[in-house]
């Protein structure tokens, strides 16, 4: 399953993009989608250096493709306070959807997921529901109803 309760983290106190990437990399190991935390972290950083993954209205979609990632997974992090992400609208980022993709699925799974998440985040009602979700269960319900997981 791409999204599971175990991969949703609410109310995190992370102060920078770097801290968020380290957090996601640590969780990738805990969630058993990678054994190499550094490779995941470096994959996220390298992708970000190609251009910001900060979207609009406080959302970001950082992603990593790596041979160190063994299964596709979406790790979701909602921060207590927005952080600078060089986002398209200049607003702080509060909500991070991180796509972790194995190298072998880079062209297919990765692009489909990215397009699906990006489309979902363009809908005002979905953004409101995501921002309004107070529990992991509520958030999972919103996501699964809109991602068709």
- The residues annotated as belonging to the active site are 63
| Adjacent-strand bridge partners of 74 | 99
The two tokens of residue 113 are: 């997921």
> Could you give the CA distance from residue 133 to residue 112 in angstroms, rounded to a whole number?
25
> Could you give the CA distance from residue 87 to residue 90 in angstroms, rounded to a whole number?
5
What phi and psi values does residue 93 have, to the nearest 5 degrees?
Answer: -95, 135
> Could you give the CA distance from residue 133 to residue 110 in angstroms, rounded to a whole number?
26
């Amino acid at each position: 399953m791409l999204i599971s309760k175990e991969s949703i983290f609410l109310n995190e106190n992370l102060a920078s993009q770097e801290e968020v990437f380290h957090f996601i990399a640590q969780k990738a190991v805990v969630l058993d989608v990678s054994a190499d935390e550094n490779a995941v972290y470096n994959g996220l950083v390298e992708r970000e250096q190609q251009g910001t993954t900060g979207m609009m209205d406080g959302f970001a979609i950082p992603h990593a493709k790596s041979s160190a990632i063994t299964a596709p997974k979406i790790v979701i992090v909602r921060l207590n306070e927005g952080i600078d992400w060089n986002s398209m609208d200049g607003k702080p980022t509060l909500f991070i959807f991180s796509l972790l993709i194995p190298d072998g699925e880079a062209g297919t799974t990765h692009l489909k997921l990215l397009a699906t998440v990006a489309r979902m985040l363009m809908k005002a009602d979905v953004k409101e529901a995501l921002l309004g979700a107070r529990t992991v269960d509520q958030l999972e319900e919103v996501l699964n109803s809109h991602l068709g997981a």
